[in-house]
Amino acid sequence: MEQVPANPWIHIGECPFCVEGLCRVRTCTDASGCHLYALCDECGSAWVEPTTDSPKVFPDLDDPRCPICAQAMYGDHASWARAEDLENTPWSSEAIFDVMPSCESASRSPEAADDVVDISENFPESVDDISYGQDEPKPGC
Amino acid sequence: MKRQTAKSKLGQFSPKWALVIVCLLIGYAILQPAANRQLGWQLPSLISLLEQSAPPAGDDRGIATDAEQITKRNGDGDTTDATAADRSDSGDRQQDSGKGRGAEPGAAELTYDYLKAIAPGDYLSPAGLRYTPMGGEEKHRLDHIMRHLVDDSSRPVHGVFDGDMPQVLRWIDDAYQRAQTNSKDVVKKHEDGRDVIDVRFSKPIGYVGGQKGKREGFPAARGIRLVLEGKRVISAFPTSL
């Protein structure tokens, strides 16, 4: 399954544990469908609710698994979430959409998923950097 | 005869040139962090250069001995529980790491001139910290830490080390060892088996990058934040304390 890079950073805020990473939204799919959780891209703390005020979990270091369905955290069934993944979920109103800095702006979008789609559409379709998503967890990798 | 001549010439090495060399070294030590910061270069620090030029046999033996002692002290199995998956993917990393992670377990060679491989993909520092494989795009904690050797302007905040991996690994060990004391320069937080440890250094060891750093003129970072689970390193990066 080819993953199309999502353009904005989609997250629920700065990680309150390591105070460096972003709690970025991930999507995971199992037999019952798609579900979302947040994962700090610095220290790996995870949240199953769309707020960092909720309890966090620390995935196993040797065998990290989805905190909701317990499948492997990484694989074709899972990825960083794209804007459309949040539509019609509680995450759409809580998530922050940070525009890539090449656009020289950043925006917080606490509104509904309508804005989400617009933001996504505003982004360039090309990803010229061949290392994109390879060794640095940029959005969409 | 020629050798004696050359030796005598060395003995007559002009103080003027010695002074010039000392000035160049001082200039390098001063300008290297700024050049890395402003120009995005990755010049090695003077300290790491000097350490690399030291006789390897004695150093290697010393570090390996320390590591072995630490391994023995941790004789609770803590150092040997790498998973089969960890072991299977370590081969790829060993190939792409150049001078970095190329050491086989038991080999005398130290990874980054500092870490001892105790199992495939599992590296032990002289202070007893372990660097192990991880899930996701980066595959290994050392790769994760390596991200903090260069700025990433796409991130809201991103601590950047002013040194190369050997230097950074020494700083991390230094911070960890100081964290074992009750120094006023150490702040610890512990939750559910994980620790976040801030250790303040007397001099900057990096700077604050990312979008916040850019806005604030890349302020110096005098601290290291360690994120650990036991002795396993999850992340480490400079922070402004």
Percent of chain B with pLDDT over 90: 50
Radius of gyration of chain A from its Cα atoms, rounded to whole angstroms? 14
Number of folded domains that form chain A: 1
- Which chain B residue has its CA at the smallest distance from A16's CA? B196
Mean of the per-residue pLDDT values of chain B: 75
Residue B95 lies in a domain: yes
Mean pLDDT, to the nearest integer, of B218-226?
A: 97
Tens-digit pLDDT profile for residues B35-77: 666 665 666 666 666 655 544 333 333 333 333 333 333 333 3
Percent of chain B with pLDDT over 70: 63
- Among B196, B228, B231, most A C-beta atoms within 10 A, so best to mutate, is B196
Closest Cα of chain B to A133: distance in Å? Answer: 7
- Tell which B residues from 142 to 161 touch A, by Cβ distance under 8 Å: 143, 147, 152-159
Residue A128 lies in a domain: no
Residue B108 lies in a domain: yes
Mark yes or no for CB contact A62/B239 under 8 Å: no
Number of folded domains that form chain B: 1
Whether the CB of B96 is below 8 Å from some CB of chain A: the reply is no
User: Per-residue pLDDT for A9 more than 50?
Assistant: yes
- Structural domain boundaries, residue B146: 15-29+43-239
pLDDT band at A6 (very low <50, low <70, confident <90, very high): very low
Whether the CB of B218 is below 8 Å from some CB of chain A: the reply is no
Measuring CA to CA, which residue among B198, B175, B221 is closest to residue B33? Answer: B221
Mark yes or no for CB contact B86/A135 under 8 Å: no
* pLDDT score, position B128: 97
- Structural domain boundaries, residue A61: 9-113
Tens-digit pLDDT profile for residues A59-80: 999 999 999 999 999 999 999 9
Q: Say which DSSP state B42 is in.
A: -
Whether the CB of B136 is below 8 Å from some CB of chain A: the reply is yes
More confident residue, A49 or B103: A49
Chain B hits for A136, CB-CB cut-off 8 Å, are 137-138, 147, 152
Mark yes or no for CB contact B237/A22 under 8 Å: no
* pLDDT score, position B74: 34
pLDDT band at A27 (very low <50, low <70, confident <90, very high): very high
Measuring CA to CA, which residue among A62, A63, A67, A60 is closest to residue A39? Answer: A67
pLDDT band at B29 (very low <50, low <70, confident <90, very high): confident
Residue B4 lies in a domain: no
Mark yes or no for CB contact B225/A134 under 8 Å: no
- Which chain A residue has its CA at the smallest distance from B143's CA? A135
pLDDT band at B30 (very low <50, low <70, confident <90, very high): confident
User: Per-residue pLDDT for A115 more than 50?
Assistant: no
When CB atoms are compared, the residue of A18, A43, A74 closest to B136 is A74
Helix (H, G, I), strand (E, B) or coil at B104: coil
- Among B137, B191, B195, most A C-beta atoms within 10 A, so best to mutate, is B137
C-alpha to C-alpha distance for B198 and B205, rounded to whole angstroms: 13
Residue B6 lies in a domain: no
Mean pLDDT, to the nearest integer, of A81-103?
A: 86
Whether the CB of B81 is below 8 Å from some CB of chain A: the reply is yes
Residue B154 lies in a domain: yes
Residue B34 lies in a domain: no
C-alpha to C-alpha distance for B239 and A1, rounded to whole angstroms: 38
Q: Measured between alpha carbons, how far is residue A61 from residues A6, B7, B116, B133, B139 in Å?
A: 26, 57, 20, 8, 12
When CB atoms are compared, the residue of A58, A98, A135 closest to B138 is A135
Question: Positive or negative CA dihedral for A90, B153, B159, A60?
Answer: positive
Residue B5 lies in a domain: no
